[in-house]
Amino acid sequence: MNRPTPKRRRKRCPGRRLRRIGLLGGSFNPAHEGHLHISRMALQRLALDEVWWLVSPQNPLKPSAGMAPMAARLDAAAAMARHPRIRVTDLEQRLGTRYTVDTLRALCRRRRDCRFIWLMGADNLGQMPRWKSWTAIFGMVGIAVFARPNYSLKALSGLAASRYARCRLSERAAPHLVMGKPPEWVFLKVRLHPASSTAIRAGLTDRQEPPSTNAAIGGSTENLGNRP
């Protein structure tokens, strides 16, 4: 008696793992060790595959005077990055976007193979309600906020932090942020870095004190994603 031929089982093709990307936006005028430091911390604390530096052609909240040419800022950022998992990009220039919310919408639509986290300093969390469609940003991607001296306490009691207080993750849960469901955010206490774009433009050396006591991961708000 002939036995029926067994049906072949279809091989399961596991889904492709999404790339986990941290986005650090700013003028990078110029890029410095503080940007590199915070990017390394993001890779470690947030379980990211890469950090992308989004070099802004021109921040609408900043004057164009004193802004180095885009090509020069890109070259300087590439020379500073010096890390196989940090990528310097001119994505905003190529996308034609000026505002963070528009950049994120374009990236989330075009890069379905990636999950994104927006990286920024505590000073920018405090001023985030000034950004275009800032609540939409919280609804699109996870947000990682890095401590800065003289800014953190005020930022954590500000409008953005208060509105999304229930969505804040503990630092222990930070590695899960990138695959979570927005709105979610985390506040990270990290070792601070004294580098400052403002001081560099003023011609100060590394041995000199920056002009502002608020300098941590950059001496001005441009350095950790000061974005409208």
Query: Residue 13: is its pLDDT beyond 70?
Result: no
Q: How confident is the model at residue 153 (pLDDT cuts 50, 70, 90)?
A: confident
pLDDT of residue 33: 87
Q: How confident is the model at residue 81 (pLDDT cuts 50, 70, 90)?
A: very high
Q: How confident is the model at residue 30 (pLDDT cuts 50, 70, 90)?
A: confident
Pick one of 2.70.98.30, 3.40.50.620, 3.30.70.270, 3.40.309.10 as the CATH number of 19-224.
3.40.50.620
One-letter amino acid identity for 138?
Answer: F
Query: Residue 224: is its pLDDT beyond 90?
Result: no
Sequence ranges of the domains in the chain: 19-224
Query: Residue 137: is its pLDDT beyond 50?
Result: yes
pLDDT of residue 48: 98
In the numeric block, which tokens belong to residue 64?
């164009």
Give 66's Cβ-side CA count (13 Å radius).
12
Question: Within the chain, what is the greatest distance between any pair of CA atoms?
Answer: 92
